[in-house]
Amino acid sequence: MIAVRRTYLPKPGKGGKLATLITEAGKAMETAGYSKPKTYKAWHGPHGMLQTEQIWESISDYEISRSSVRNTPSITSIFEKIYPLLADTHKTEIFEIVD
């Protein structure tokens, strides 16, 4: 299994809106049949930073989902609202779950 973690840093003053949209995106993913990512609010580092974590059975399953998600308007329409709020592109990290 793998964990895919994404870190989002909002532009100043956009953290609340970003948090709302990240939550909406997670619900849209769940509705579309994907596992709902957990969302974490940072208590350290840059102000307003959020991180999501989504568990996948394999890197292969995750890679297949990426194309599918990009063709799901209920998800992409939310991310079109998220990207302009970011100070920089989001950071993606993938971890193998070992226990």
What CATH number does residue 23 fall under?
3.30.70.100
- Is the model's pLDDT at 94 over the cut of 90? yes
d(CA 22, CA 24): 5
- Is the model's pLDDT at 21 over the cut of 90? yes
d(CA 48, CA 16): 8
Tell me the pTM: 0.90
What's residue 26's pLDDT?
A: 96
Within 6-99, residue ranges assigned H as helices are 15-31, 59-70, 73-82
What's residue 67's pLDDT?
A: 86
Give 23-68 pLDDT, tens digit per residue: 999 999 999 999 999 999 988 888 899 999 999 999 999 999 988 8
- The tally of domains found in the chain comes to 1
Instruction: Kindly state the tokens that stand for 59.
Output: 């890197």
Q: Average model confidence (pLDDT) for the chain?
A: 94
**Containing domain of residue 36, as a range?**
2-96
CA atoms within a 13 Å half-sphere pointing along the CA-CB vector of 15: 13
Q: Which residues pair with 86 in a beta bridge?
A: 10
What's residue 46's pLDDT?
A: 85
